[in-house]
Structure 1
Amino acid sequence: MLSILTATTLFPNDAKPTQGAFVATRLAKLCESGEVSAEVLAPVPWLPPFVRYRDAGRLDLVPRHTQRGPWNVWHPRYLVIPKIGMTVTPHTLYLTMRNALRRMIAEGRRFDLIDAHYFYPDGVAAVRLAREFGLPVVVTARGTDINLIPEFPTPRRMILNAARQADGLITVCQALKDRMIELGVAAERITVLRNGVDLSLFHPEGRDGARRQLGFQRRTIGSVGWLIERKGHHHVIAALAKLPDTDLVIAGEGPERARLERLAVSLGVADRVRFMGSLDQRQLAEVYRALDALVLASSREGWANVLLEAMACGTPVVASSVWGTPEVVAEPAAGVLMRSLDADGVAEGVAALFSKLPDRAATRAYAEQFSWDATTQGQLRMFKRIVAERQARQHHIATVAARATSPHL
């Protein structure tokens, strides 16, 4: 059995229980294969008490070590320096991860491979960590780490250097692979392993009960995600002015909530907008199956898990045509892609969807193509190959060294 260390800042914790749920789900499916055991190194930011960092949540409540599901999860602190943190954080994160891994090894833990998620700063720090400890490392690119951060010269250099040194590279969609190739990474070094969807958790059964429980009486659309400008919730709110027969629920928290609430009031649609706050995966599933459609108006996405989650609940989507999203919304049963990323694009997309609304069973059937099985098998093949190659190299080096020192030669 392979023993892996999953290293990422994108992992659920007590302050942000829904953060990085896609990383936790992929790891859970991998471990369910029975061929992998894992521990998780998930550092959380630390700032001096006099520095306000409202988006981080109550990180002081996150324990240094916890048991989450089947895994030991370690949450050491790493220093985040506002304004200059983009270039410094890979180093502070590496130092924290190095100290934590040293303690783990001193306690008798051994790992065959480091499984890193999000290229910057996580992957950059993890590659440096792997080189120091003589471990192979695989880095998964997930979205803004490749489609946004490399626009800054120093992070781009660090990302490319890490990509050259990593033993394996994964992207969650073809669009991110294409972008990495544009940046200068060799195509043959990159494997596309798309995120799947938990078809047992996200399912269409119980829709009528969910609508009653949530109080949905009219046509209701949803917008799900962190409340930041990039997620485009403001476009969906503004589109309500053109959709008078439609209500909107927004699931998520973030720094833009107050501004979004003011926008709804100023447009006269506040009575049709409900902010539901942060929801866990089971609560989200109830919302998805109760909705008539999900709208995702993001300006940047790698592989948007919310789209498949909604589809698995039988709910079609209206989505912006960015990055990996056209790979998710590829057939009429899935939904429609917006022609423009603005309020008009949302309104037109919603109207187009409901003019030819797919059968919910067909939407569910479409989502069933995206189980985690293929991703899990792809990881297993990659991890086993990389570990075997590393062991073969080490054996060869040891054999050569032994021959060189043998008195019989």
Structure 2
Amino acid sequence: MSTSFAPHSPTAPRAPERGRGGRRVRVLIGTDTYPPDVNGAAYFTARLAHGLAERGADVHVLGPSPTGRPYVSEQDGVVEHRLRSMPSLAHESVRLALPPGVRGHLNQLLGRLRPDTVHIQNHFLVGRMLARAARVHGVPVVATNHFMPENLFDPLRVPGPLRPYAARLAWWDLGRVLAGAEHVTTPTPAAAGLLTDQGFARPVEPVSCGIDLVRFQPLPADAPAADRRRLRERLGVPDRRTMLFVGRLDEEKNADELVRAVTLLPDTQLVLAGHGAQRTRLEELARAEGVADRVVFLGFVSHEDLPDVFRCADVFTIAGTAELQSIATLEAMASGLPVVAADAMALPHLVEEGRNGYLYRPGRPGELAERLRLVVEDEGTRRRMGAHSRLMASRHRLEDSLERFERIYEEAVAGTGPR
């Protein structure tokens, strides 16, 4: 992962509102996952922090230490306050902050920083401890939910019969933590509706995670075919028709459906960019299905190379059924790719059937293959759908999301936000 997450802003940022004592607005972001963690919530939080800093805010991030040892450092204008941590059971790249001593540390930190607002990204250890401390210090709390219980069931090996009960308990716990926030957001209308369906009585505002349309964009329409061949060669991708998935190779992502779909598309390869607990099983599945030569595992892709990975592909595919938005799908759309996605959770918000791609019923790789065939067999269709994807992605500009969060902070401080 790159050490820099500052977004490129094609337009000049607006002047920040003034905080206490006439200083810059100061925001303390609390999160249980932050780079080098590899997941959508971590990446969004980093983009939010660095985007706000670029626009003039004084931004501090509180989260677990990636090494286990506590420290404070500054990365591109964002001050990171890292808490003592231990490995988690859920994901190998995620660590848990250790609660002993944290309460006193938070009281000191809030007293010293005197932030105008606290913005929690999770309701787990860091989020709930920081929200509780902020209320004691009279600091307004904004909360963003990226959580679905389904994303933890497989890593924690929750038995199937217990999952409905575990889900109800998890939603109740989430609602209890978020109930004290001045303003609650989540990435999509579907995610907001899910909270409401689970009994959360407060208003929930959908605010897109946002996408950097400058960093993620397609190759120029008049670019010679040799340009894509050179990109593929540099990244180790064979020069053939390509369906792409970018994300964690964990059980809830259902990447096995993508591998099975490849068996029905003899002239197409699948490129998987990312790592996770299911990689070995997926490699074994590709060999068993006789498509090992057409399933390419890129592993972890650096922050710098990710835009070129999208430019190597012809279509983006995603089979996950617990996506609250899917930043990777937005990045693919901004890169001018058609999308074929599972008809589940928030993914339908990113697909306009027949215009930028298609949906398929989860668990049906044959149907997925048919939808992919409709996209990839005609160059004109791919180009038309890719252009519409880019247009749809333009509705999720990162600058717009940053500006909305700035206004939310101001409303929370003024006490004018929804309650």
Cα deviations by residue, 1:350-376 (Å, 9 ceiling, x for unpaired) = 112235434233432332222123322
Q: Which residue of 2 aligns with 1:320?
A: 342
Q: Which residue of 1 aligns with 2:72?
A: 65
Relative to structure 1, the CA distance from residue 333 to residue 143 in structure 2 (aligned partners, 3 Å threshold; closer, same or farther) is: farther
User: How far does residue 156 in structure 1 lie from its aligned partner after superposition?
Assistant: 2.9
Relative to structure 1, the CA distance from residue 81 to residue 192 in structure 2 (aligned partners, 3 Å threshold; closer, same or farther) is: closer
Task: Find 1:204's aligned residue among 218, 229, 247.
Answer: 218
Q: Look up the SS of the partner of 1:118 in the other structure.
A: coil
Q: Which residue of 2 aligns with 1:374?
A: 400
Task: Find 1:180's aligned residue among 164, 174, 195.
Answer: 195
Relative to structure 1, the CA distance from residue 62 to residue 340 in structure 2 (aligned partners, 3 Å threshold; closer, same or farther) is: same
Relative to structure 1, the CA distance from residue 126 to residue 333 in structure 2 (aligned partners, 3 Å threshold; closer, same or farther) is: farther
Q: Which residue of 2 aligns with 1:190?
A: 204
Do the aligned residues in 2 keep the contact of 1:18 with 1:279 (CA within 8 Å)? no
- The TM-score, its normalising length taken from structure 1, stands at 0.81
Do the aligned residues in 2 keep the contact of 1:7 with 1:114 (CA within 8 Å)? yes
* One-letter code aligned to 1:375: S
Structure 2 residue 194 is matched with structure 1 residue 158: no
Q: Which residue of 1 aligns with 2:60?
A: 39
Structure 2 residue 280 is matched with structure 1 residue 276: no
User: How far does residue 139 in structure 1 lie from its aligned partner after superposition?
Assistant: 0.9
User: How far does residue 153 in structure 1 lie from its aligned partner after superposition?
Assistant: 4.2
Equivalents in 2 of 1:261, 1:248: separation in Å?
A: 12
Relative to structure 1, the CA distance from residue 82 to residue 362 in structure 2 (aligned partners, 3 Å threshold; closer, same or farther) is: closer
Do the aligned residues in 1 keep the contact of 2:39 with 2:248 (CA within 8 Å)? no
Equivalents in 2 of 1:285, 1:141: separation in Å?
A: 27
Q: Which residue of 1 aligns with 2:272?
A: 250
Structure 2 residue 321 is matched with structure 1 residue 299: yes
Q: Look up the SS of the partner of 2:61 in the other structure.
A: strand
Equivalents in 1 of 2:376, 2:122: separation in Å?
A: 36
Structure 2 residue 262 is matched with structure 1 residue 262: no
Structure 2 residue 27 is matched with structure 1 residue 4: yes
Q: Which residue of 2 aligns with 1:357?
A: 382
Relative to structure 1, the CA distance from residue 248 to residue 370 in structure 2 (aligned partners, 3 Å threshold; closer, same or farther) is: same
User: How far does residue 312 in structure 1 lie from its aligned partner after superposition?
Assistant: 1.0
Do the aligned residues in 1 keep the contact of 2:68 with 2:86 (CA within 8 Å)? no
* One-letter code aligned to 1:155: A
Q: Which residue of 1 aligns with 2:414?
A: 388
Q: Write the mapping of 1:211-230 to structure 2, written as runs, cut at 5 A.
A: 211-214=232-235, 215-230=237-252
List 4+ stretches of structure 1 deviating above 6 A. 146-150
Structure with higher helix content: 1
- The TM-score, its normalising length taken from structure 2, stands at 0.79
Task: Find 1:77's aligned residue among 78, 84, 89.
Answer: 84
Cα deviations by residue, 1:297-319 (Å, 9 ceiling, x for unpaired) = 10210000111101111111111
Q: Which residue of 2 aligns with 1:104?
A: 109
Structure 2 residue 141 is matched with structure 1 residue 137: yes
Tell me the percent identity.
Answer: 28
Equivalents in 2 of 1:30, 1:144: separation in Å?
A: 26
Equivalents in 2 of 1:148, 1:277: separation in Å?
A: 22
Relative to structure 1, the CA distance from residue 288 to residue 272 in structure 2 (aligned partners, 3 Å threshold; closer, same or farther) is: same
Equivalents in 2 of 1:143, 1:38: separation in Å?
A: 23
* One-letter code aligned to 2:81: W
Look at both structures and tell me which one has the larger radius of gyration over its CA atoms.
1
Do the aligned residues in 2 keep the contact of 1:172 with 1:193 (CA within 8 Å)? yes
Equivalents in 1 of 2:52, 2:114: separation in Å?
A: 19
- Name stretches of at least 5 consecutive residues in structure 1 with no aligned partner: 45-58, 84-88, 391-409
Relative to structure 1, the CA distance from residue 179 to residue 97 in structure 2 (aligned partners, 3 Å threshold; closer, same or farther) is: farther
Do the aligned residues in 1 keep the contact of 2:216 with 2:334 (CA within 8 Å)? yes
Q: Look up the SS of the partner of 1:318 in the other structure.
A: strand
Equivalents in 1 of 2:68, 2:174: separation in Å?
A: 32
Relative to structure 1, the CA distance from residue 145 to residue 119 in structure 2 (aligned partners, 3 Å threshold; closer, same or farther) is: farther
